[in-house]
Structure 1
Amino acid sequence: GIATPTESAVISVFYSLFVGLFVYKSLGRKEIIDSLIGTAVTSAVVMFVVTFAGIFSVTEATLGIIDAAGNFVISVAKSPIAFLLLVDLVLFIAGFFLDAISILYVIMPIFLPVLQAFKIDPLFFGVVATVALAIGQITPPVAVNLYVVSNLIKKPLDQTSKEIWPFVAFAIIGLLLITFVPKLSLLIPIASKLYTP
């Protein structure tokens, strides 16, 4: 609680650097340079995605696509629960093909007006969307997090992708529980508001 997630990431990088340089002495100049180059390439890819997704979102808004899509979603999903189930499905399927950042930039502007129309708590919606996106990040073919796991355990992607489905099934059950029982995701924030001096 003394640092934000971003600050914690920075702290962990410096801690890893310290351990690699002075404790295990496994980091040399070449390894550090390779890490910096890898970080720059990864960050550049993410920033390109964010930039073009942002341009796409502005284009959507300018052409009125967001309003039209929002009205279509409202006409299809007649109730808040139907809308949330539709969101679950769309984000889950989108996670097969896109990373979470791209999905957030491209699809979320469509959902936000509908969220206001159905008077759904934004915090609750954020939890539902995050869980749905997290499931999408471990399902092939894109499966960003599955690539990370395969790299960590030194196993090929086709092998890890076969083992992931029981976890996906339980995650979907958890997502449906969160969707149908909003208090599961709102109980702690509500309690924190009640007991804040």
Structure 2
Amino acid sequence: MTAAVLFGSFAVFLLISVPIGIALGLATLVTIFFSGSLPIPFLMKELVTSVDSFPLMAVPFFILAGEIMGKGGISERLFKFANALVGNKTGGFAIATIITCMFFAAISGSGPATVAAIGGIMIPAMVRNGYDKKFATVVVAAAGSIGVIIPPSIPMVIYGVVGSASIGDMFIAGIIPGLLVGLSMIAWTYYYSKKKGFKGTAEPTSLKKISAAFWDAKWALLIPVIILGGIYGGIFTPTEAAVIAVVYGLIAGLFIYSELKFKDLPKVLADSALTTATVLIIVGTATAFGRFLTIEQVPNKIASAMLSISDNSIVIILLITILLLIVGTFMDTLAAIIILTPILLPIAVQLGYDPIHFGILMVVNLAIGFITPPLGVNLFVASGISGLSIETLSKAVIPFFFAMLISLLLVTFIPQLSLFLLSLGG
């Protein structure tokens, strides 16, 4: 009965449009009052202790690094390099946009941040070059979801903390799945562009042009190399890497590219603080919500129920996939990871899944939620940029949904896509 009150009150708060972080906290508070099994200070204690974590400090620093780099001229240079590579091909502008999002994903760690940074530049540019506005908008919205798959990734940090998994290993394991998702989007974009006659630029590409664009973008392209190389090489932890990314972004934006001004820093800090506060409220309340579930032994009951359906590992993992796809449509990715990891990870381990591999499955699965309504955060950000309605974008993004779904199934049933790079270091 207690679990029913917890989930029921949470559903009611969501239906009346209470923000998810607040809804989780209020649902926990209502259930504490109803059950009487825990003291009221339980919620306040969890809000504090859940964010009192050294690995979790990576989150605000990666958010700040993404804000700095988004306003420091880095995204524009990344696009120029991607455009030099593929701009003259069929659908070249759209493909270059996806590649740029993949590059920026290796900097920001956030889906909505990637859409905001790239969409403001690329949606108007694609429309000017003859692309359909709907298609241009959903290209950015869909490609932005790669921001949480290619490392560094904020959801991977959260999974590492909740699931007691190595965040560095999660970062390395996300590289190939992130590239796979990007390539699946590029394949659909090329097919659609060829069908609709979206031509590339008339300018021929050349090694000289690519080299010049690469040289101009070299400081931006070095960022993921430094972050991942430093973590995997044992030079610094993911949290320290996030701090280094902030310092590097400031140097590149202020002094190398000189597009970030000192007068811009207060707004950059304010924007990143607002995003960080939102994330940490969700982390705190979702942790309290999940802890209450654990006390009521709900994870054990769900695990037993799922395992009683079938002893076939393929059936169980498909059920988990369907559950995550549904949850991703209405729940924030971070909240879903915090609440569901303690429930689903033991089941996955019992089925023989590596915890790192399963973490990647969760992140890729929930990344699809960035483009699926009613939550669909990336769609809302892209809608704000283009002015198109969510209903219009929800229909146009369907092919990208299936491209991501195919990639998810490949990652699910071919573990080496996640674990191959880790095996090289082992």
TM-score interval for Structure 1 and Structure 2 normalised by the shorter chain: 0.7 to 0.9
How do 1:143-154 residues align onto structure 2 when only pairs under 5 Å count? 143-149=376-382, 154=385
How do 1:1-197 residues align onto structure 2 when only pairs under 5 Å count? 1-4=228-231, 7=240, 9-22=242-255, 23-25=257-259, 27-29=261-263, 31-149=264-382, 154-156=385-387, 158=390, 160-193=393-426
Q: Which amino acid aligns with 2:229?
A: I
Q: Which amino acid aligns with 1:62?
A: I
Q: Tell me: CA distance 1:67–1:122, structure 2 relative to 1, closer, same or farther (3 Å).
A: same
Aligned-pair CA distance for 1:76: 2.3
Aligned-pair CA distance for 1:111: 1.0
| Distance of 2:380 and 2:242 partners within structure 1 | 20
State the secondary structure of the residue aligned to 2:386: coil
Gaps of 5+ in 1: none
| Distance of 1:19 and 1:150 partners within structure 2 | 30
Q: Which amino acid aligns with 1:93?
A: I
Aligned-pair CA distance for 1:51: 0.7
| Distance of 2:354 and 2:394 partners within structure 1 | 34
Q: Tell me: CA distance 1:32–1:115, structure 2 relative to 1, closer, same or farther (3 Å).
A: same
Q: Which amino acid aligns with 1:126?
A: G
State the secondary structure of the residue aligned to 1:137: helix
| Distance of 2:242 and 2:395 partners within structure 1 | 31
Gaps of 5+ in 2: 1-227, 232-237
Q: Tell me: CA distance 1:14–1:160, structure 2 relative to 1, closer, same or farther (3 Å).
A: farther
| Distance of 1:116 and 1:39 partners within structure 2 | 36
Aligned-pair CA distance for 1:75: 1.3
| Distance of 1:65 and 1:122 partners within structure 2 | 21
Structure exhibiting the larger radius of gyration computed from Cα positions? 2
More relative contact order, 1 or 2 (CA 8 Å, 6+ apart): 2
Q: Which amino acid aligns with 1:27?
A: K
Q: Does the CA-based 8 Å contact 1:124-1:182 persist in structure 2? A: yes
Q: Does the CA-based 8 Å contact 2:345-2:358 persist in structure 1? A: no
Q: Does the CA-based 8 Å contact 1:85-1:179 persist in structure 2? A: no
- The share of aligned pairs that are identical, in percent, is 35
What does the per-residue CA deviation read over 1:113-149, in whole Å, with 9 as the maximum and x for residues that have no partner? 2223323222222222221111122222222344455
| Distance of 2:377 and 2:250 partners within structure 1 | 25
State the secondary structure of the residue aligned to 1:140: coil
Aligned-pair CA distance for 1:13: 3.6
What does the per-residue CA deviation read over 1:152-195, in whole Å, with 9 as the maximum and x for residues that have no partner? xx3136354443221111110111122233333333333432xx
Aligned-pair CA distance for 1:103: 0.4
What does the per-residue CA deviation read over 1:2-41, in whole Å, with 9 as the maximum and x for residues that have no partner? 3346555544444443454444455353x32122122111
What does the per-residue CA deviation read over 1:35-87, in whole Å, with 9 as the maximum and x for residues that have no partner? 21221111111111111111111111111111111111111243211111111
| Distance of 2:260 and 2:420 partners within structure 1 | 46
Q: Which amino acid aligns with 1:64?
A: Q
Between stretches 85-94 and 184-193, larger displacement belongs to 184-193
| Distance of 1:6 and 1:144 partners within structure 2 | 26
Aligned-pair CA distance for 1:93: 1.2
| Distance of 2:343 and 2:289 partners within structure 1 | 12
State the secondary structure of the residue aligned to 1:78: coil
Between stretches 118-127 and 58-67, larger displacement belongs to 118-127
What does the per-residue CA deviation read over 1:80-107, in whole Å, with 9 as the maximum and x for residues that have no partner? 1111111111111111111211001111
Q: Which amino acid aligns with 1:2?
A: G
Q: Does the CA-based 8 Å contact 1:77-1:86 persist in structure 2? A: no
